[in-house]
Chain A
Amino acid sequence: MTRVALARARTGARWYLRIALAAVLLFDLALLTGMLLGGERGPRALASAPALLQAILGRPELVLPLAIAGGVALVRFAMAPGRVGAALVAVACIGVLCEARAASVGGPERFLFAGGTVLVGWLAGLAFARAGGGDRDAEERAAELGAIAALATIYVNAASQKLLASGIGWADGDDLRMLVLSQRPLDGSPTDAVADLVVGSRTLAFTLAAFVETAQLAAISYPFDRRARAVVGAMLIAFHVGVRLLTPISFPQSIALLVIFSFPWGRLLERRGLALADAPDRLLARRPLRGALAIATGAAALAALSFVPPVRSTIESVSHPGEVARPTSAPREAEGPAPFDAARAAALGIDAPGDRIGPCEVASVEASDVDATLVWLVCDGAELGIEVAPTGSRPFHPPRRTRAHDLFYRDREGAHAPAPDSVRDAALDELAARLEQR
């Protein structure tokens, strides 16, 4: 029966890649299911996450149907080419479980994203082939290229983020040494000695950091040339293995995807006598610009959807935990006056409740921590909290920083209408400017 099923699945120009991709996603699904069935809510569980995501944790009656639906969809996707609906169901099921996990631990766990990213690329390739009038039998060639481009984008984005946040200085090696110190195992294992070596040698650390940055930036060439793909793929695998040697950080799914998509497995299979599809191994899009337009339209629609208020608040609640999910002070009581700590307010240049900060009015000022002050503002009916802490006192990157202060923002727990981004940014800018002048 298995042989019959496998024979049936061996249709389509890239059946072996489709099956391998489905296997990686099934691994993600199993991992998430286990985490959510057995996991406890972490100390930084996101109270502002949607109720559905919070409700899933530890509830087999919710987790298992999603896992089964996702699993069935992945098997259906693997069994035949072009099953877009099954792939979308799989992404949706894994997505809900993944975001439920994020809600339970206080933020996204991106090692679970790689499979979904590559599947999105696969679907984009199918869309390109179909909108571009390609040969239906050969559309998995386009799906393969889409998946490869999506895989490359993971690393190009990671490199871009490093350059944007830290500049070329990220590769000076000191950041890597500090990262290793903060995460390395202290268990007397052989990898301890490797970590000692990296921490102790600025030159070695620089070499490794430069290698990481080079490998990730080189991923931009990954989709465009088969030889470059094999070289860059091997470099990226080496990067993941190196990280695992020095820290407990592990990305097995990414390694698997790099192995799957970096090397010419099709040729190897053909040499072993496993016939590939009879379809021509070409893209054959008659209207390629229409294909590219289909991808651009889909991306634009998704980006626009992400700004629709209910969707936005859901994304914000699980996507930016560093900014909105600091341990919150208790929600303000509905009864009684709002707290106003005059000394803390004066230190921030606020005289009294009702003072204007940008487009908002001050509602309350209170201590949020020993060293931090929380200012609640009312902005056109929406409540916005700005936490002012000493510069560098939080392990998050603040949306605004002055010489002496970091400014974070948060929405009121359970608030239905968070302040719009433009209003929030204006209030942050105004308060930061005041603090800078003091």
Chain B
Amino acid sequence: MRWTERRLAALLAIAVMLGYSAVASSVRSFYPFSVFPMYSASPIDRSVARIVARTAGGDATEVTAYRAFACDRELDVDRIAAECGAAFAPQYVDDALATHVRARSGELPDGSGEEIEIVRRLWTLDEQGAFTVSDCVLARCSAVRDEAARDEAAR
């Protein structure tokens, strides 16, 4: 067989692709090998959820838009499924938001906070492709908005 430049390149590429994939399949994800399975699976039961802050006016906003919290209960992400039902929600996102609230929780001076509810908002997809939205309240809080974050959003 005559090894043209094109054939040589193809042989090398195939060897690398198969070799890398074989090692990645055996380890799944161990630096620097991975099968890169991120977001490959369909959300469970066609439901998806995330933690948001619900203002007194009913608007949903980021929990991270607030910099101080005084809540009636601790935010425990491990109890969310039991209390609010199962849905797809990236664990690391819930963890990061719960950590944000816990790290900034404490007493607030009277009247300095805005009344909000930290809710788990659930979107369930129906057959027609429309979403039904429902909220499950995780904690009721007085919270102080992060002005810098608000200014940035306004810009």
Q: A99-B30, A110-B29, A298-B19 are in contact. Are A393 and B81 (CB under 8 A)?
A: yes
Check B61 for interface membership: any CB of A closer than 8 A.
yes
Which residues of chain B come closer than 8 Å to A319, judged between CB atoms? 27-30
Q: Would you give the 0/1 interface string for B14-28, flagging 1 where the beta carbon is closer than 8 Å to chain A?
A: 111111111111111
Which residues of chain B come closer than 8 Å to A150, judged between CB atoms? 16-17, 20
In whole angstroms, how far apart are the Cα atoms of A176 and B10 in the complex?
Answer: 34
B112 to A: closest C-beta gap in Å: 22
In whole angstroms, how far apart are the Cα atoms of A183 and B91 in the complex?
Answer: 11
Which residues of chain B come closer than 8 Å to A170, judged between CB atoms? 40, 42
Candidates B40, B82, B129; contact of A370 at CB < 8 Å: B82
Check A268 for interface membership: any CB of B closer than 8 A.
no
* Majority secondary structure, B binding face: helix
Check B136 for interface membership: any CB of A closer than 8 A.
no
Check A188 for interface membership: any CB of B closer than 8 A.
yes
Q: What would 20 more interface pairs be, CB under 8 Å, given A43-B77, A124-B19, A162-B39?
A: A113-B29, A145-B9, A152-B13, A157-B35, A162-B40, A166-B41, A181-B123, A182-B48, A182-B49, A182-B90, A183-B90, A295-B12, A296-B19, A299-B20, A302-B26, A319-B29, A320-B28, A369-B82, A371-B82, A395-B91
Candidates B48, B77, B152; contact of A181 at CB < 8 Å: B48
Which residues of chain A come closer than 8 Å to B50, judged between CB atoms? 181-183
A288/B3 in contact, CB under 8 A: yes
**Stretch from A1-9, A58-66, A115-123, A331-339 forming part of the interface with B:** A115-123
A291 to B: closest C-beta gap in Å: 7
Within 8 A of A (CB), among B16-70: 16-46, 48-50, 52, 60-62, 65
A94 to B: closest C-beta gap in Å: 7
B62 to A: closest C-beta gap in Å: 5
A-B contacts at CB below 8 angstroms, number: 249
Check A330 for interface membership: any CB of B closer than 8 A.
no
A residues with a Cβ closer than 8 A to B are 42-44, 91, 94-95, 98-99, 105-108, 110, 112-113, 115-117, 119-121, 124-125, 128, 142, 145-146, 148-150, 152-158, 160-162, 164-166, 169-170, 174-175, 177-179, 181-183, 185-189, 199, 202, 223-224, 282-283, 285, 288-289, 291-292, 295-296, 298-300, 302-303, 306-307, 315, 318-320, 327, 369-371, 390, 392-397
Which residues of chain A come closer than 8 Å to B18, judged between CB atoms? 296, 299
B88/A182 in contact, CB under 8 A: yes
In whole angstroms, how far apart are the Cα atoms of A43 and B96 in the complex?
Answer: 9
In whole angstroms, how far apart are the Cα atoms of A298 and B18 in the complex?
Answer: 12
Q: What 4 A-B pairs have minimum CB-CB distances, sorted nearest first?
A: A116-B32, A299-B19, A223-B13, A149-B16
B12/A299 in contact, CB under 8 A: no
A178/B10 in contact, CB under 8 A: no
A165/B12 in contact, CB under 8 A: no
Q: A105-B92, A186-B60, A306-B23 are in contact. Are A158 and B40 (CB under 8 A)?
A: yes
> Closest residue of chain B to A173, judged by CB?
B129
Q: A95-B31, A142-B12, A318-B30 are in contact. Are A178 and B88 (CB under 8 A)?
A: yes
Q: A158-B36, A161-B36, A306-B30 are in contact. Are A153 and B21 (CB under 8 A)?
A: yes
- Please, could you name 29 A-B residue pairs with CB atoms under 8 Å apart, sorted by A? A42-B95, A110-B36, A112-B31, A124-B16, A124-B19, A145-B16, A149-B13, A149-B16, A152-B17, A154-B34, A156-B17, A156-B21, A170-B42, A179-B39, A179-B43, A181-B123, A183-B93, A186-B60, A187-B61, A283-B12, A296-B15, A296-B18, A299-B20, A303-B25, A315-B30, A319-B29, A369-B82, A370-B82, A395-B44
In whole angstroms, how far apart are the Cα atoms of A194 and B61 in the complex?
Answer: 17
In whole angstroms, how far apart are the Cα atoms of A99 and B32 in the complex?
Answer: 10
In whole angstroms, how far apart are the Cα atoms of A188 and B26 in the complex?
Answer: 43
B12/A145 in contact, CB under 8 A: yes
Q: A99-B30, A125-B16, A292-B15 are in contact. Are A202 and B40 (CB under 8 A)?
A: no
A368 to B: closest C-beta gap in Å: 11
Q: A178-B123, A300-B22, A327-B78 are in contact. Are A186 and B62 (CB under 8 A)?
A: yes
B residues with a Cβ closer than 8 A to A are 3, 5, 7-46, 48-50, 52, 60-62, 65, 77-79, 81-82, 86, 88-93, 95, 98-99, 123, 125, 129, 131, 149, 152-154
A43/B3 in contact, CB under 8 A: no
Q: A113-B34, A117-B33, A394-B86 are in contact. Are A302 and B23 (CB under 8 A)?
A: yes
A178/B43 in contact, CB under 8 A: yes
B3/A165 in contact, CB under 8 A: no
A342 to B: closest C-beta gap in Å: 22
> Closest residue of chain B to A186, judged by CB?
B62
A189 to B: closest C-beta gap in Å: 6
Candidates B15, B61, B152, B154; contact of A128 at CB < 8 Å: B15
Which residues of chain A come closer than 8 Å to B39, judged between CB atoms? 162, 175, 179
In whole angstroms, how far apart are the Cα atoms of A283 and B89 in the complex?
Answer: 48
Q: A106-B91, A186-B61, A283-B5 are in contact. Are A153 and B41 (CB under 8 A)?
A: no
Between A155, A158, A295, A395, the greatest number of chain B beta carbons within 10 A of the residue's beta carbon is seen for A395
Q: A121-B20, A182-B50 are in contact. Are A283 and B8 (CB under 8 A)?
A: yes
A260 to B: closest C-beta gap in Å: 17
B36/A146 in contact, CB under 8 A: no
In whole angstroms, how far apart are the Cα atoms of A291 and B154 in the complex?
Answer: 58
